[in-house]
Structure 1
Amino acid sequence: MTDNISIPEEIMHRADTLMEDRFARTDRNLPVVATLFELGLSHVTRDLMENPDLYKPQADMSMPKKKFEPVDPIALMRKEIKLPSLPQVFIEMRQVINDPSSSASDLAKVISQDTALSAFLLRMVNSAFYSFPAQIDTISRAVAVIGTNQLSTLAMGTSVMDMFKGLPADIIDLELFWRHSFSCGIIASHLSKTFKQGTPEKCFVAGLLHDIGRPVMMMTLPDRAVAATAISRNKKALMFKAEQIVTGFDHAELGGMLLRKWNLPFSLVNAVLNHHNPAKASKSPEALYVYFANIIAKTMGIGGSGDFFIRNVNNERWEKHGLTPDKLRQLDSELTPILDEAFSILKNMNN
C-alpha cells in the first residue's frame, strides 16, 4: 500500500510507535499476530500521511480514585434511558416488515421518503460492496435485486447512524467511532462472502452496530464510561474489561440488550453481544465474523470507539476458520479498494 512512496522518517517512527503500543499485550511470535501487525503498520503509515487529522494526540487521563459499585444493566435498560429518538424511517420500516400484508413496494416507498438514506443505499448498492454489473438507479430496483430482507436490514442498520449526532466531541469522537464501525461492517460482510457463511448484509449491520453500547454508556453512565477509558489507556487494558471493572458489564452486553429492546433479529443481537467472546460466537457466522472484523479493523487503525489495544489472538482459531497469514494478506488487498470507496460514501453521508 505504501510501495513506491517516499515516506518521511517521522511518519514511519510515529506509525511504528503507535503499532507497538497497540500490540503491547500480544505475542508477535504467533504467525497470525505477526501478519496483523505487518498489515496494520502498512495501513497506519498510509493513513498518517493521508489523514493526519484522525490521529490527534490523546489527552492525559488520570486513573479513577473511587471504587464503583456494579450497575444492573437490566434495570438500566428498563428505565426510559435518555437516548435520542429512533429515526422515524427506522420505525416505519419495522412496521412494514412486521406487517404480513405489506409488499416490497411498500418498503421501497418508506425508504424513498428519506432522501439521505436513499442516496446512501444507492451508492452502496452501486459500489464495490456489491459489484453489480449494471447501474441501479431506484430504491424499487434495489429491493428487486437485493431482496426485501437484505435491503431492509441494510437500511435499518444505517438509519441508526444519525442517532448520536448531539454527543460532544470531547466525550466521543463520532467521526472516528463510525469510521471504525463502518469498516468493521464492511470487513465482516466481506468475510461472509469469502467463506460463504452467514448473511453478508446481516454481517455488515452487526459490524456497524457492534460498538453501539459505547455511546449508549457515554450517555447513560458518563462518569463510569470516562473512568473505563482512563483505565484502558493507563493500563493498556481492553476497553470491555475496563468497563466491567467500573460497571459490572460491558458495551457489548449493553449493545445487545439495546438491539433486543428494538426487536432486531436475534442474529444481530447475538453478534453484538458476543463480538468479544469468540467461544460463544463460534456457532453464529455473523457473531464470529464481527469478532474477526473488529480485530482486523482495530489493527488497521481505522477510526476507533476509544478501544485502541489488540487482544492476543488464538492462532489456531483464526487458521481453523480460514484466516491464515496468506489469506489475511489476500483479504487485505481485496478490502483496500472496497474500504476506500466505502469511506468516500460515509464522508458524503455526513456532509
Structure 2
Amino acid sequence: MPKLKIDEIEPGMVLAEDLTTTEGRMLLPRGAVITEAHLRTCRVWGIVSAVIQGDDEDDGYPTSLDQLDPEVLDSCKIMAAQRFVLNPSSHPVVQEMARLYILRQARGLSPEQASWMLSASTHDDNVDFLSPAEPSRTQIDPGRVVRQEMELASLPDIFHQISEALKNPRTSAAYVAEVISKDVSLSAKLLKMVNTPFYGFPSEIDTLSRAVTIVGTNQLVSLALGVSVISAFDGIPEKFFTLKDFWLHSVMCGIVARLLAGRLEMEGDERFFVAGLLHDIGRLIILRSHTEAATEVLRQATVGRKGLVDVEKEVWGCTHAEIGGRMLKHWRLPAFLEVLVHHHHTPTEASMAREAAVVHAADFIAHSLAMGSSGASLVPELNTNAWQSLGIKKSELADISRQAERQANDIMAAFFPDSREA
C-alpha cells in the first residue's frame, strides 16, 4: 500500500487506510474514493500524505506481459483477439483493456491450462463467412413485454414502498429504515453490503437506522431498489449464465461506474452504481417472459463475430437495453436510472449523454475484465465519442480496474460467501 504525498494523489484513487488529522479527527474512511474536494480539504487541514490502494495489493499477480510464460501469453493473446473482435485493435483504450484482460486471464495458469482454455473457446471466426445470416425468429414488442412483466407482479410490495420513498424529498431516515426492515432478507443484504470495504466504515454498521444515517437516505434507498430488483429474478434459466454470474457482472459495472463518476466529480455517484447494477435488467426480463427467444439470441451470440446487442436487434427487433429502460419507467424509478439503462449501448443518443457514457464505459470495462457474465461472450463495441467525452486517461484504467475488482470481490463475498475470488 503506497503512501503518497497529497500532490501525487489524483481524484479517483482509493484510500487504503482511514485519513485523519494530526489531532485524530476522522476526515475520510478507508475505501473512500478521493475527489478534488477531498484533496482541497486535506490541504486545509495540513495533511501531507495518505495511504492509497496500489499495485502491492495485487497478491503477486503479474503487472506486465513480460512477466508471463511465453506459451501462456500466446494463448491469452489469441483469447483477447477473439474477445475484443468487435473493437478496433488500434484504439489505445481497447489495447489497454486487452492487456489488462490478458494479465487477469493469465493468473496462475500453466501453459497446459491456457491451451485448454483456448481450445474450449466457443468462438469460430469462420461462422460469419460460411453460414448465411439467420432470419429473425421472434419479433418482440417491448411495450407488450413490459405489460406482461407488470402483470406478473414479480416485485414485492416493499419495492414500491421504497420507490415512493425515493421520490419523496421529505422522506426521513427513520421512515426509510422502517420500510426496509419489513423485508428481512433485503435488510440483511443491505447491512452486509454497507459493512464491506466498498464503503470503508471504520466500525460495524449493525442497524438499518444507522446505515441510513451514515450512508444517506437516498443512497441507501437506491441500493435497496437495485438489490430488490435483481433478487426478484431468482430461478431464471441458467443455460448460458448463472444468476451469480449476472450479479458479478452487474456489481462490477456498478462499481466501475461509481469510480468513474467519482473521478469526474459527477454528483450522486451512488446513483451511477445502481444504474450499473441494473443496466442489463432487460435481459433477465426477456429470459423470464420469452425464454425461447432469449435462448436463441444467446446461442447465436455465443459463436462468431456478432455482438449480443446486434443479434437482439436482428432477432427481436429491439434490445435488452430498450426493454430495461421501459421497465424502469413503468416501475416509476427515477428518470436518471431509466435513461442510463436504456442508453448504456447508445450513450450519444441519451438526453443525459455524458452520464450515459459513464455506464457505457463501465460496461465496456466490466466485459473487458471478464468478471461475471450477462450472456455476452464478446466485449461490446466501445463508443469512442462517448469515451472521449469523459476525458478519462488510458493510464487510469489499470488503477480503476484493480480498485473495481477488489471492491466487487468484497461485495460478492458478502452475498455469496464462497465468492471471495471472483
Label 1:59 to 1:220 Cα distance change in 2 as closer, same or farther (>3 A): farther
Give the TM-score of the pair, scaled to structure 2: 0.72
Question: Are residue 177 (structure 1) and residue 238 (structure 2) matched?
Answer: no
The runs of 5 or more residues in structure 2 that have no matched partner are 1-57
User: Would the alpha carbon gap of residues 272 and 12 (structure 1) be closer, same or farther in structure 2, given more than 3 Å must change?
Assistant: same
Distance 1:300 1:335 in 2: 10
Q: Which residue of 2 aligns with 1:201?
A: 270
* Counterpart in the other structure of 1:274: 343
1:91 counterpart (139, 156, 160)? 160
Cα distance between partner residues in 2 of 1:300 and 1:229 = 20
Paired residues for 1:48-63 under 5 Å? none
Query: What is aligned with 1:39?
Result: 100
1:23 and 2:84 are equivalent in the alignment: yes
Stretches of structure 1 that go unaligned for 5 or more consecutive residues are none
| Aligned twin of 1:141 | 210
Distance 1:227 1:42, change over 3 A: same
Q: Offset of 1:196 from its aligned partner?
A: 1.0
Shift of 1:266: 0.4
CA apart distance, 1:111? 1.6
Tell me how far apart the structure 2 counterparts of residues 254 and 4 of structure 1 sit (CA, whole Å): 39
Aligned ranges for residues 105-124 of structure 1 at < 5 Å?
Answer: 105-124=174-193
| Contact in 2 for aligned 1:83/1:219 (Cα 8 Å) | no
Higher helix share: 1
**CA-to-partner distance for each residue in 1:76-97, whole Å, 9 max, x for gaps?**
3234566562033313323444
Q: 1:119 to 1:219 in 2, by over 3 A?
A: closer
CA distance in 1, matches of 2:204, 2:355: 28
Alignment map for 1:249-260 (pairs within 5 Å):
249-260=318-329
1:3 alignment counterpart: 62
* 8 Å Cα contact 1:70/1:247 also seen in 2: yes
Pairwise CA distance, 1:48: 7.0
Name the stretch that deviates more: 154-163 or 82-91: 82-91
Question: In the aligned structure 2, how far is the partner of 1:106 from the partner of 1:268?
Answer: 23
Q: Which amino acid aligns with 1:27?
A: P
CA contact (8 A) 2:354 2:389 kept: no
Which stretch of the first structure deviates more once superposed, 134-143 or 184-193?
134-143
Q: Does residue 167 in structure 1 map to residue 236 in structure 2?
A: yes
Q: 1:171 to 1:113 in 2, by over 3 A?
A: same
% same residue: 33
Tell me how far apart the structure 2 counterparts of residues 240 and 336 of structure 1 sit (CA, whole Å): 25
Report how far residue 193 of structure 1 moved: 1.5
TM-score, scaled relative to structure 1: 0.86
The count of residues paired between Structure 1 and Structure 2 equals 347
Larger radius of gyration: 2
Question: Residue 87 of structure 2 contacts residue 380 of structure 2 at CA under 8 Å; is this kept in 1?
Answer: yes
1:244 is matched with which residue? Answer: 313
CA distance in 1, matches of 2:281, 2:108: 24
- Tell whether the 8 Å contact from 2:122 to 2:303 is kept in structure 1 after alignment: no
Deviating more after overlay: 279-288 vs 110-119: 279-288
Q: Secondary structure at the match of 2:302?
A: helix
Higher RCO (CA < 8 A, seq sep 6+): 1
- What does residue range 193-342 of structure 1 map to in structure 2 within 5 Å? 193-281=262-350, 283-315=352-384, 317-342=386-411
Amino acid at match of 1:22: R
Q: What does residue 200 of structure 2 align with?
A: 131
1:183 positional shift: 0.8
- 1:120: Cα distance to partner? 2.4
In structure 1, what is the Cα distance between the partners aligned to 2:352 and 2:134? 41
Residues 193, 411 of structure 2: 8 Å contact kept? yes
Aligned 8 A contact 1:33 1:315 in 2: no
Structure 1 residue 66: deviation in Å? Answer: 5.1
What is the rounded CA distance, in whole Å, between the counterparts of 1:235 and 1:157 in structure 2?
Answer: 33
Question: For 1:78, which of 117, 128, 147 is the aligned residue?
Answer: 147
Pick closer, same or farther for the CA change 1:24–1:97 going to 2, 3 Å.
closer
Which segment drifts farther, 277-286 or 288-297?
Answer: 277-286
Q: Is the 8 A contact 2:348 2:386 kept in 1?
A: no
